[in-house]
Structure 1
Amino acid sequence: MNDIIVIGAGIAGLVCAQQLSQAGYSVLVVEKSRGLGGRVATRRLHETLADHGACYLKPKGELFTSLVELLCDRQILKVWTDQVHEFHPDSGLFTPDLAYRYVAPGGMSAIAKFLAQNLQILLNQRVTEINLTGNKTWRLTLESSNEVLTAKALVVAIPAPQALTLLTPLGEGVLGGEFLTNLSAVEFSACISAIAGYPASSHLIPDWQAISFIDDAILGWIGLDSSKRLQPQQPVFVLHSSAKFAQQHLESPDLQPLGQQMLQSAAETLAIPGLTTPEWLQVHRWRYAFPSIPWSEPILSAASPLPLVCCGDWCGGHLVEGAMLSGIAASGEINNYLSQLLLPGVNFFKVFSE
């Protein structure tokens, strides 16, 4: 039996697991996907990389800034740009602020791989059922093998709607109070991302790295993703849709026409006709892209007989930095329930620099 099981290998789950593991607990991370990082995601395709989830890091707080500095020292991150333009329907392009944005030349998922060091992780394993046993343990059933895992404490570090589906069968009788009501109040906006690659001979290189679209019916973002790479072989753009466009087409069985529509819109808006004719195009659906109605606190705890804590970027904020702080808060809550060991706290990543 494990001391703690963490469901979800996004940034919040990995940070929480590192905190508890470094303190001395036995921790197992269970992730339904084949990769780490959640929406800090990278695709490898056509002999190149593309970040189709989180596009960059823009650190604000001291803790996250320290982590970014460490990742830069390790050459995992680099400064990408200090300008992300905005496009307004009435006024066109302008630059609202100058602030460094950091990216990973090896793909943004490299951040998650760094945070996952020394952790015990099960990938491609979906938890289908959670029960509270008479032996005072959490009992988790896995979909692929019907294998059963047990733990003294549980951290659920996945989007709130997915957590709600998984935890609702336990009922308020086990979870207590208004836990399920609070969890169900969290809402997400969807996003459709399109990755488009162009022939090297096209010379399709604009004089900007990224543009956010304000109040656009179709587009939310476009970035020259290949400008993040050390030796780009061809121009690669990543586009994110607006929340409205994604919601309208969320259940579409064929995403390719949607990606093409996004390219057409960007080409017309930015007067770059070549965007409409990519050499290849891959489109991805993010059902839970951005928390539109987040939970107001860093974590959401159940009043259950055994500790159960939810965390993620939907707790208190919707950026990678917020996910990290939520993971740290979740580890503290779990530790208070259990052995009250000494957590590494703000120094949790120093073990990686030794």
Structure 2
Amino acid sequence: MTDIAVIGAGMAGLVCAQQLTQAGYSVLVVEKSRGLGGRLATRRLYGTWADHGACYLKPQGELCKNLVQLLCDRHILKDWTDNTQLNSTPRYIAPEGMSAIAKFLAQGLEVWKNQRVIAIHPTPENNWRLTLESGDAELIVKAVVLAIPAPQALMLLSPLGEDVLGKEFLDNLSSVEFAPCISAIAGYPANSQLLPNWQDQKFTDDAVLGWIGLDSSKRPHPQQPVFVFQSNANFAQLHLESPDLQPVGQEMLQQAAQNLKLSWLETPEWMQVHRWRYAFPSVPWKNTVLSTVTPLPLVCCGDWCGGHLVEDAMISGIAASWEINNYLR
């Protein structure tokens, strides 16, 4: 028996879990992936690592500024502001990868990784029962926080129906929409190319690309140039269900080579491609949390509540902890 289960170990889930733990509750974080952070994602490959989700933080809002300052003091973040551009916005990166932020936020928490929740049901004793895909255990908890994208939360909760959750809650949850993205990580021969003098490039009207960054410029001792390419939402939607993403990634590299007049970008030594089905909230929920009117406390939170930024995820996580605390108190 645990007081609270937090489903999802992204920014909102970890912030919420820390707040509730500090309030004296027993909290268990359940994460379906093998790593922490959600879109604060770092992939280790070919002797290096690269950020293929969120690639940097902008200290937008007081909460995010305080977090950035704390992480800088702990040498987890460092300044990556592009001083070659006029009026450039301060940006911060993690030399050990953006997932280092999540690892910091998870300190002291009980986290079950590689555990997918496949069903949630109320019990006769007025608790929640969570069924795990592994079948090894069921969790009985007093309250549930779903810190996952709204479409994933809807798939998990819709079997409960309107009788348990209420029509308004399910309608609100189904109104949230996300835009997808495809990320390609590519490594190039060391010292064989004249690297560009920029850290990243953003594309606003391109048919394929949304952003490209020289990821190896964030690493303390890079062994080779590594770039991260991110598609725009329309291109990602076209190829989201492709069984083989390698040709999709190759098309992104070809487009970058053509746009930037760097023909060698087409021929990397290696490449990995990742699909983000829920990359950016395109139609967010208007409030900082979405909670049920059921007698059993169940709250949804994330960057899709009240906005789409990291700051919004932090605010939503804190708001979810307040909501749960009010329920249980």
Which of 83, 88, 93 is the matching residue for 1:98? 88
Structure 1 stretches (4+) deviating beyond 3 angstroms?
A: none
The residue that corresponds to 1:127 in the other structure is 117
Cα deviation for residue 83 of structure 1 reads 5.6
Which of 151, 154, 158 is the matching residue for 1:164? 154
- Alignment of 1:56 with 2:46, yes or no, is no
- Alignment of 1:313 with 2:300, yes or no, is no
| Paired amino acid for 1:15 | V
- Alignment of 1:221 with 2:211, yes or no, is yes
Would the aligned equivalents of 2:181 and 2:233 in 1 still touch at CA under 8 Å?
A: yes
| Paired amino acid for 2:249 | G
C-alpha separation in 1, matches of 2:268 and 2:223? 14
C-alpha separation in 1, matches of 2:313 and 2:82? 23
The residue that corresponds to 1:187 in the other structure is 177
How do residues 274-285 of structure 1 correspond to structure 2 at under 5 angstroms?
274-285=264-275
How do residues 67-82 of structure 1 correspond to structure 2 at under 5 angstroms?
67-82=67-82
Gaps of 5+ in 1: 85-94, 340-354
How do residues 80-91 of structure 1 correspond to structure 2 at under 5 angstroms?
80-82=80-82
- Deviation per residue, 1:190-247 (Å, 9 max, x gap): 1000000001122342110011100211000000000000111110000000100000
Cα deviation for residue 19 of structure 1 reads 0.1
The residue that corresponds to 1:17 in the other structure is 17
| Paired amino acid for 1:254 | D
- Alignment of 1:6 with 2:6, yes or no, is yes
Cα deviation for residue 173 of structure 1 reads 1.1
| Paired amino acid for 1:82 | D
Would the aligned equivalents of 1:177 and 1:303 in 2 still touch at CA under 8 Å?
A: no
Provide the TM-score with structure 2 as the length reference. 0.98
C-alpha separation in 2, matches of 1:283 and 1:162? 22
The residue that corresponds to 1:112 in the other structure is 102
Provide the TM-score with structure 1 as the length reference. 0.91
RMSD: 1.1
C-alpha separation in 1, matches of 2:256 and 2:57? 24
The residue that corresponds to 2:240 in the other structure is 250
* SS at structure 2 position matched to 1:202: coil
C-alpha separation in 2, matches of 1:253 and 1:83? 41
C-alpha separation in 2, matches of 1:41 and 1:262? 20
- Alignment of 1:300 with 2:256, yes or no, is no
Which of 208, 227, 230 is the matching residue for 1:237? 227
Cα deviation for residue 176 of structure 1 reads 2.1
Cα deviation for residue 96 of structure 1 reads 7.5
- Deviation per residue, 1:123-182 (Å, 9 max, x gap): 000001100011010000000125110110110000000000000011111112400101
Cα deviation for residue 82 of structure 1 reads 3.4
The residue that corresponds to 1:333 in the other structure is 323
- Deviation per residue, 1:43-85 (Å, 9 max, x gap): 000010100000100012112101100100110000012369x
The residue that corresponds to 2:187 in the other structure is 197
C-alpha separation in 2, matches of 1:161 and 1:295? 12
Would the aligned equivalents of 1:81 and 1:100 in 2 still touch at CA under 8 Å?
A: yes
* SS at structure 2 position matched to 1:17: helix
C-alpha separation in 2, matches of 1:319 and 1:45? 28
| Paired amino acid for 2:311 | E
How do residues 26-41 of structure 1 correspond to structure 2 at under 5 angstroms?
26-41=26-41
| Paired amino acid for 1:100 | P
Would the aligned equivalents of 2:180 and 2:277 in 1 still touch at CA under 8 Å?
A: yes
Would the aligned equivalents of 2:82 and 2:199 in 1 still touch at CA under 8 Å?
A: no
* SS at structure 2 position matched to 1:21: helix
Cα deviation for residue 97 of structure 1 reads 4.0
- Deviation per residue, 1:244-272 (Å, 9 max, x gap): 00000110011001111101000100111
Would the aligned equivalents of 1:198 and 1:204 in 2 still touch at CA under 8 Å?
A: no
* SS at structure 1 position matched to 2:282: strand
| Paired amino acid for 2:241 | E
| Paired amino acid for 2:6 | V
Change in Cα spacing, 1:151 to 1:210, as seen in structure 2 (3 Å) is: same
